[in-house]
């Protein structure tokens, strides 16, 4: 296949082909497991080695994302390139696209990796989004606080996740200190949302425009990091339906080929507001790996390869609990490992570890998935299994 054929190929990319993954964390790991199960080879590219993705990939390339010569070489050796996380420089995606198909396209990455661009896109296209305004100066921040009141949240525009780059402002006299701490960078101020719950819809869109989803997933966070996700969400049917339709419209408007997660707040008066977009598989969708006919990772593979999308049927109600580095005795100044046998003693619980070498507070090291006769029971079981680790 010539370089031109690879970047414009409209034919399905079949098993035996090579999938390139920019990024090398746990999302890439689970994607690689799904891809290898279907007979694909996987190459991963990141600045590190012995990574979660690299441990199960066929080839692990170590180079910085701004090494565009290395990026072009990487893309030349694969049939399609996809993303493991969104904080990939736009220039990297452009360089890869010179040598191979890139799905989702670089324009999706450009929009969703920057909070200001993302929220502007959502607002300008009529999607329900948390109220916000751009902040370039202390005067902008003060004007925003006058508009939204306190509390409000000051966020960096780029490279934020799991609560990083966010400052809660509870009074006007904190404005100057918050701006000084942020330094000179793009910022946004968001109005505080008094929400009843948080939910997400993970959706997939094929090269032919077909759309699938896993329904609404209900999420609980702790210290800004996802703690437990439950499916199906305990929400009125009309809320779930509206969330799915909003997610469908977002994927269509962005022309996504791949998987994208829409994170929502449900306000106490019953309104859905989009909080964030993630243009790849999402932590809240990890339970699909065990609980659904087709996981979010296999669906990403099918989409970027131009294959028909698979069934997203939920086989049993399920819950997922994150395993953070705080669970490791060494983080608490003790010795040993978490009690894996105790968690595995729960027969309906699945253990997933990501192969990360060093546990740290707040670092996602793995997750547990439980399945049961109801979502509430699955959540109860997965929490008990996690407690048994300590």
Task: Kindly report the CATH number assigned to the domain that includes residue 60.
Answer: 3.40.50.20
Q: Which two tokens stand for residue 29?
A: 């790991």
Q: Which two tokens stand for residue 266?
A: 């449900």
Residue 239 lies in a domain: yes
| 349-353/18-22 β-pairing | unpaired
Residue 142 lies in a domain: yes
Same domain, 202 and 145: no
Distance CA 376, CA 105 (A): 38
Q: Contact, 170 vs 177, CB < 8 A?
A: no
R_g (Cα) of the chain, nearest Å: 21
Same domain, 328 and 201: yes
Q: Contact, 230 vs 286, CB < 8 A?
A: no
Same domain, 85 and 172: no
Q: Which two tokens stand for residue 89?
A: 């420089």
Distance CA 288, CA 275 (A): 22
- The alpha carbon of residue 115 and the mean position of all alpha carbons in its chain are separated, in whole angstroms, by 14
DSSP label at residue 201 = E
Task: Kindly report the CATH number assigned to the domain that includes residue 323.
Answer: 3.30.470.20
Same domain, 337 and 370: yes
Same domain, 147 and 179: yes
The pLDDT of residue 185 is 85
Concatenated DSSP letters of 26-88: HHHHHHHHHHHHTT-EEEEEES-SS-TTTTTSSEEEE--TT-HHHHHHHHHT-SEEEESSS--
pTM exceeds 0.85: yes
Same domain, 83 and 142: no
Q: Which domain holds residue 347?
A: 195-387
Residue 115 lies in a domain: no
C-alpha distances in Å from residue 249, one per residue of 122, 153, 382: 11, 27, 33
Same domain, 157 and 304: no
Residue 233 lies in a domain: yes
Same domain, 148 and 206: no
In angstroms, the first-to-last Cα distance of the chain is 53
Q: Which two tokens stand for residue 328?
A: 């490791």
Q: Which two tokens stand for residue 376?
A: 């509430």
Task: Kindly report the CATH number assigned to the domain that includes residue 159.
Answer: 3.30.1490.20
User: Which backbone phi and psi does 78 adopt, to 5 degrees?
Assistant: -125, 170
Distance CA 207, CA 193 (A): 36
Same domain, 214 and 317: yes
- pLDDT averaged per 10 residues, the chain (length 390): 60 97 98 98 97 98 98 98 92 96 94 94 97 92 93 84 75 88 87 95 98 98 95 98 98 98 97 96 98 98 98 98 96 91 97 96 97 98 97
Same domain, 207 and 353: yes
Distance CA 22, CA 136 (A): 31
Domain edge (last residue) among 151, 167, 191:
191
Q: How many domains does the chain have?
A: 3
């Amino acid at each position: 296949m010539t370089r031109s054929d690879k970047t414009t190929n409209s034919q399905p990319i079949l098993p035996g082909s090579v999938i390139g993954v920019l990024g090398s964390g746990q999302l890439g790991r689970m994607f690689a497991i799904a891809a290898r199960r279907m007979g694909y080879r996987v190459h991963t590219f990141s600045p590190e080695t012995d990574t979660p993705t690299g441990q199960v990939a066929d080839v692990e390339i170590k180079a910085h994302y701004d090494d565009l010569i290395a990026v072009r070489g990487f893309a030349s050796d694969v049939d399609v390139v996809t993303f493991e996380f969104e904080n990939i420089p736009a220039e990297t995606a452009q360089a890869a696209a010179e040598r191979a198909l890139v799905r989702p396209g670089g324009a999706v990455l450009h929009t969703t990796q920057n909070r200001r661009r993302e929220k502007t896109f959502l607002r300008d296209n009529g999607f329900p989004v948390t109220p916000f305004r751009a902040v370039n100066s202390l005067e902008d921040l003060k004007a925003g606080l006058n508009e939204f009141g306190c509390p409000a949240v000051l966020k960096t525009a780029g490279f934020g996740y799991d609560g990083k780059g966010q400052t809660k402002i509870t009074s006007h006299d904190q404005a100057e200190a918050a701006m000084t701490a942020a330094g000179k960078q793009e910022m946004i101020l968001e109005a505080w949302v008094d929400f009843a719950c948080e939910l997400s819809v993970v959706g997939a869109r094929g090269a032919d425009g077909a759309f699938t989803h896993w329904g609404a997933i209900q999420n609980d966070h702790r210290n800004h990091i996802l703690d437990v996700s439950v499916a199906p969400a305990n929400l009125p049917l009309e809320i779930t339906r509206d969330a799915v339709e909003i997610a469908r419209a977002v994927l269509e408007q962005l022309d996504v080929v791949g998987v994208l997660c829409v994170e929502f707040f449900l306000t106490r008066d019953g309104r859905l507001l989009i909080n964030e977009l993630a243009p790849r598989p999402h932590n809240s969708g990890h339970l699909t790996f065990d609980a659904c006919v087709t996981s979010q990772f296999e669906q990403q593979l099918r989409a970027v390869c131009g294959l028909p999308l698979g069934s997203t049927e939920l086989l049993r109600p399920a819950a997922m609990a994150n395993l953070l580095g705080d669970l490791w005795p060494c983080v608490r100044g003790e010795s040993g490992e978490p009690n894996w046998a105790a968690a595995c003693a729960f027969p309906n619980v699945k253990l997933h570890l990501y192969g990360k070498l060093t546990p740290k507070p707040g670092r996602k090291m793995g997750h547990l998935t439980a399945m049961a006769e109801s979502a509430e029971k699955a959540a109860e079981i997965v929490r008990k299994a996690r407690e048994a680790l300590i």
